[in-house]
Structure 1
Amino acid sequence: MKDVFIIGSKGIPANYGGFETFVDNLVSRQESKDIRYHVACMTFEKNTRNYTYAGAKCQEIRVPNIGGAKAILYDLRALDWAVSEIKSRQLRNGIIYILACRIGPFLHPYVKKFHKYGFKVWVNPDGHEWKRAKWSASVRKYWKISEKLMVKNADFLVCDSRSIEEYIQADYKQYQPLTTFVAYGADVTRSELKDSDAEVVEWFTKHKIVQDNYFLIVGRFVPENNYEAMIREFMASDVPNDLVIITNVEKNKFYEELRQKTHFEKDPRIKFVGTVYDAELLKYIRENALAYLHGHSVGGTNPSLLEALGSTDLNLLLDVGFNKEVGKNGALYWSKETGDLKKLLESVVKLENDARASLAKKAKERIKKQYSWDKIVFEYENLFTK
């Protein structure tokens, strides 16, 4: 039996978030009888629980709600829990799988502890967290140092993007890192909702949105997702459609900065509609969009992009390596050069049905063949049991 401890997700069952969805699918779709999962789950409550979910042993790890630093403290406390479990249960020769590179300066002594019991330390480096504009210069410097030390001290790295794997091998070649590529996953399934269902009618009526007649953006509201470029280009275009933006803008300084820069509130086509936590409703909204806009410029295989390719017929992606690697010939691409996205927006509203159908088919085939959750889980189980 191979014991696999998963550190770094907020926990399962997943409500939201890429790592959480990954862990949920990994354990709920488990096929191998030779793997036993142990999953750390974050909580702010004093009374912590341990419970079983889809066969995985889950342990809540309490951390104080102290802002960004809580993620570092959470990972460290989760590693302490893993060490304690391994000792008390006399486990041997398993895997500690750490998601993201938050704890590089603290990792080395833990690696020595885990090696003592025959456990290997694996890391998923995620994307270029040190490039994110939301962090101050000092925090970005910490992220880069942390990434370097995670790569240096890990036994093995699993990259969810070939571009990230190439970057790790090039930037840290002095450590001769052992890496492999296993993508993030998605499903190609239709929403169970119908246009007459109450939640559908209520949402579209509330926001005054016409089905099949809107451009859509879904993602975290951060500068590196290029909201400013997409909104500016949309405002400059003459398309009659709405731009529906599903994101978290509550108490967000970036939102106010962007409003002052672009004055998007004066364009009635631009609609910030908040977040949608109902997975079926979000899938329905994706399926009934005229096109999806994706401006992410940082990260590996982005979950919202996979969901879009599996749900939305027409996908317009920022032309960067991460996005082209995923979308290939199943999407159309735009650059940040002034006027480029404007031109693309104006052309796609006139796109013939046959051309739309062809792109939709290619996008969904891409997900089915390369990014299905069953395929991803199979590849992980092969890795874990080797």
Structure 2
Amino acid sequence: MNPESTSKHIFIIGSKGIPAQYGGFETFTEKLTALRKDERICYHVACMSDRNEDFVYNNAQCFRIKVPNIGPAKAVYYDIKAIDYCCKYIEKNQIKGAVVYVLACRIGPFIGRYKRRLAKSSCRLYVNPDGHEWKRAKWNALIKRYWKFSERLMVKHADLLICDSKNIEKYIKQTYARFNPNTMYLSYGSETKKSALPENDPKLQNWYEKFGISKGQYYLIVGRFVPENNYETMIREYMKSKTEKDLVIITGFEGNKYYGKLKDLTNFDSDPRIKFVGTVYDQELLKKIRENAYGYLHGHEVGGTNPSLLEALGSTDLNLLLDVGFNREVGEDGALYWTKEEGCLARLIEKADGLSRDERDRLGTLARKRINDCYSWDKIVGGYEDLFISGDKTSD
């Protein structure tokens, strides 16, 4: 495909790039490019790298951005270099009417100058505000102030803010009403397709044997290993419960200081049911592990629509979710809910243990219906293509 002959150029920056190895924005970009239906769209995708070069993947024009290892500033540097590349490419090739879609609000203090450059070529700036990055516990006070300030400026300069959560859209409209932000809701996607792995697959059986786990005899947690995902609450409550099932935690805990802190706070290492098993990057294996779980625990409370929650609803029958707006919005009546009140989750786990097969099947059917009706990748990609081709509501 000759990118200069297509009618609509879409530049995507802010993900680590494709092919996707992990991460919500990376999977989104992978699906958006892989499932492209409209031949008029030409995607250009920034990819974080240790070298600069271009390549084609999923029929998208991918450009690598070499990024030095400079700590928390690495993502900001990457986004600035990526949007600078986009502006130069647009100017060099005299492209008109392109869209630069920035995933997350990391470069607010710098975005004004790039917005002006894009406007000279009649190009538009779309932003996905992601979740409340400035609330994350891993950041110190100075970095939190930067993220909040950056978010404000990204909202101010964006032509359109694409929110993957209705609660995030509401927050943007209320918090930044003085900017009269132009927003729309377009969620993240998922699927309900079963894993390709059979039950007797050696990969699955070896994994179970390695950690002493049995099909249907474990609750599962999958997510980033950060305090705001409420690992402490879930582990404490699990230890209080009388369940005989294991709690299997799939997360990158190795070398993370939070792991030692959590051990000191909860003494989880004294409970043989609590099993930290590291990460699982094989997506078919991970899906099979989800399918075979008795139930799934979800404690995320910062951010918008969470990919791991969508994946759980699409594959695990019984889902126990922290009762916050982001999670209620997604799960609706296809899940059970708990609060951080002492004893609440422990009681819910014991109640869940007593559910009949029919009751679990009913919840699983409702959960998968939520995914199929509102969060299928086909629906999400179609919504984005309609937006990219037709333009947003203020493009006139």
TM over 0.5: yes
Structure 1 runs of 4+ with >2 Å offset? none
Match of 1:51 among 55, 65, 76: 55
Give the corresponding residue for 1:95.
Answer: 99
Task: List runs of 5+ in structure 2 lacking aligned partners.
Answer: 1-6, 391-396
Counterparts of 1:221-370 in structure 2, within 5 Å, are 221-370=225-374
Counterparts of 1:20-35 in structure 2, within 5 Å, are 20-35=26-41
Which whole-Å CA distance do the structure 2 matches of 1:287 and 1:242 have between them?
Answer: 15
Which whole-Å CA distance do the structure 1 matches of 2:262 and 2:25 have between them?
Answer: 29
Q: Give deviations 1:12-48, integer Å, cap 9, x for gaps.
A: 0101000000000001000112211100100023xx2
Which whole-Å CA distance do the structure 1 matches of 2:382 and 2:360 have between them?
Answer: 32
Which whole-Å CA distance do the structure 2 matches of 1:191 and 1:155 have between them?
Answer: 40
Give the C-alpha shift of residue 49 in structure 1.
Answer: 2.2
Which whole-Å CA distance do the structure 2 matches of 1:83 and 1:250 have between them?
Answer: 40
Which whole-Å CA distance do the structure 2 matches of 1:171 and 1:188 have between them?
Answer: 35
Give the corresponding residue for 1:179.
Answer: 183
Give the C-alpha shift of residue 68 in structure 1.
Answer: 1.4
Q: SS of the counterpart of 1:14?
A: coil
Contact 1:44 1:65 in 2 (8 A): no
Q: SS of the counterpart of 1:68?
A: helix
Give the corresponding residue for 2:3.
Answer: none
Which whole-Å CA distance do the structure 2 matches of 1:285 and 1:341 have between them?
Answer: 22
Give the corresponding residue for 1:145.
Answer: 149
Give the corresponding residue for 1:42.
Answer: 48
Which whole-Å CA distance do the structure 2 matches of 1:168 and 1:279 have between them?
Answer: 33
Match of 2:162 among 138, 153, 158: 158
Which whole-Å CA distance do the structure 2 matches of 1:361 and 1:195 have between them?
Answer: 21
TM-score normalised by L of structure 2:
0.96
Q: SS of the counterpart of 1:232?
A: helix
Give the C-alpha shift of residue 93 in structure 1.
Answer: 0.8
Q: Give deviations 1:327-350, integer Å, cap 9, x for gaps.
A: 000000000000000000001111
Which whole-Å CA distance do the structure 2 matches of 1:112 and 1:175 have between them?
Answer: 17
Give the C-alpha shift of residue 195 in structure 1.
Answer: 1.9
Which whole-Å CA distance do the structure 1 matches of 2:241 and 2:340 have between them?
Answer: 15
Give the corresponding residue for 2:8.
Answer: 2
Give the C-alpha shift of residue 126 in structure 1.
Answer: 0.2
Give the C-alpha shift of residue 352 in structure 1.
Answer: 1.1
Give the C-alpha shift of residue 197 in structure 1.
Answer: 1.0
Q: One-letter code of the match for 1:27? A: T
Give the C-alpha shift of residue 313 in structure 1.
Answer: 0.5
Q: SS of the counterpart of 2:329?
A: helix
Task: List runs of 5+ in structure 1 lacking aligned partners.
Answer: none
Give the C-alpha shift of residue 201 in structure 1.
Answer: 1.1
Give the corresponding residue for 1:167.
Answer: 171
Give the corresponding residue for 2:115.
Answer: 111
Q: SS of the counterpart of 2:293?
A: coil
Q: SS of the counterpart of 2:278?
A: coil
CA RMSD in angstroms, aligned pairs only: 0.6
Which whole-Å CA distance do the structure 2 matches of 1:346 and 1:16 have between them?
Answer: 33
Match of 1:69 among 68, 73, 82: 73
Q: SS of the counterpart of 2:71?
A: coil
Give the C-alpha shift of residue 289 in structure 1.
Answer: 0.2
Bigger drift between 26-35 and 332-341 goes to 26-35
Bigger drift between 315-324 and 64-73 goes to 64-73
Q: SS of the counterpart of 2:62?
A: strand
Which whole-Å CA distance do the structure 1 matches of 2:202 and 2:53 have between them?
Answer: 36
User: Does residue 5 of structure 2 align to residue 12 of structure 1?
Assistant: no
Which whole-Å CA distance do the structure 1 matches of 2:331 and 2:279 have between them?
Answer: 25
Which whole-Å CA distance do the structure 1 matches of 2:41 and 2:272 have between them?
Answer: 53
Contact 1:185 1:372 in 2 (8 A): yes
Q: One-letter code of the match for 2:21? A: N
Q: One-letter code of the match for 1:38? A: H
TM-score normalised by L of structure 1:
0.99
Identity %: 56
Which whole-Å CA distance do the structure 2 matches of 1:176 and 1:157 have between them?
Answer: 11
Q: Give deviations 1:30-79, integer Å, cap 9, x for gaps.
A: 0112211100100023xx22111111100000010111111000000001
Q: One-letter code of the match for 1:2? A: K
Q: Give deviations 1:240-287, integer Å, cap 9, x for gaps.
A: 000000001121111111100100000000000000000000000000
